[in-house]
Amino acid sequence: MCIQASASQPLAADVMAEIMRIQKDETYIGDAGRLYAPECGYSAALYEIPQSGKGAQKAVDAEDFAAFLCNYGPQRVVADHTHQGFGNVLRGCGYSTVVYLKTIEGVWPYVFSTKDPDSRNDGDTVWDNHGNSIYEYDDSGLTFYTCNEDWRHVTVAHFIQYSATKRAETEDKE
């Protein structure tokens, strides 16, 4: 089962207010930034993990850290343990959930797109319900995953870049 988002996005003013709040937040960011999911009560420093996977388990095991998997493919993937609050993000995200990536360059919002609680991890890649590697998504989004009952059964949530322009156009037509 895969859950799709509707066309509705949060108001641009709300997103901008959250961006301003996050910009002022002085909480430590990891070498790849910090992930914020305010609606779900989650925030974690992101640590870049190379394709070899070395250090991924250590990053997800640590409190307030998550793995930012890079160079696996074009997609940016974040992994963390369910019990550290990440499960709240993946299981609780809905049609208007916005997450924020803070780096030394700024803060970028992403809005929920799809969720697949029946994805699979074969040890080399994570496959969504349609047989696609989550590392090969190529849309400048963020993809998250966390383990379900074991490391082979995972939940995947995908977020796309928030477009205030698109939201404003939609509001004008209503």
pLDDT number for residue 87: 73
Domain hosting 84: range is: 3-173
E strand or H helix at 111? strand 106-121
Average of pLDDT values for 41-61?
78
Burial of 86 (0-12, 13-18, 19+ CB in 10 A): buried
Closest CA to 49 of 29, 67, 37: 67
pLDDT at 1: 41
Residue 106 reports pLDDT greater than 70: yes
The answer to whether the CB of 52 falls within 8 A of the CB of 72 is no
> What's the domain count of the chain?
1
CB 23 within 8 A of CB 107: yes
* Dist. CA 154–CA 91, nearest whole Å: 11
**The predicted structure's pLDDT at residue 168:** 38
Band (pLDDT 50/70/90 cuts) for residue 63 is: confident
* pTM given for the model: 0.80
166, pLDDT greater than 80:
no
Angle at 115 between CA 77 and CA 58, to 5 degrees: 35
Tokens matching residue 146: 């966390």
Q: What is the pLDDT of residues 65-91, one digit of tens each?
A: 888 887 676 778 888 877 767 777 777
The rounded distance, in Å, linking the Cα atoms of 73 and 129 is: 18
Which CATH number characterizes residue 152's domain? 2.40.260.10
Contact present, 55 and 47 (Cβ < 8 Å): yes
pLDDT, residue 51, reads 63
- Please tell me the predicted confidence (pLDDT) of residue 114: 85
The answer to whether residue 101 scores a pLDDT higher than 50 is yes
Output the CA torsion sign for 86, 89, 37, 136: positive
Q: What is the pLDDT at residue 53?
A: 62
Q: 2 pLDDT exceeds 50?
A: no
| pLDDT of 167 | 40
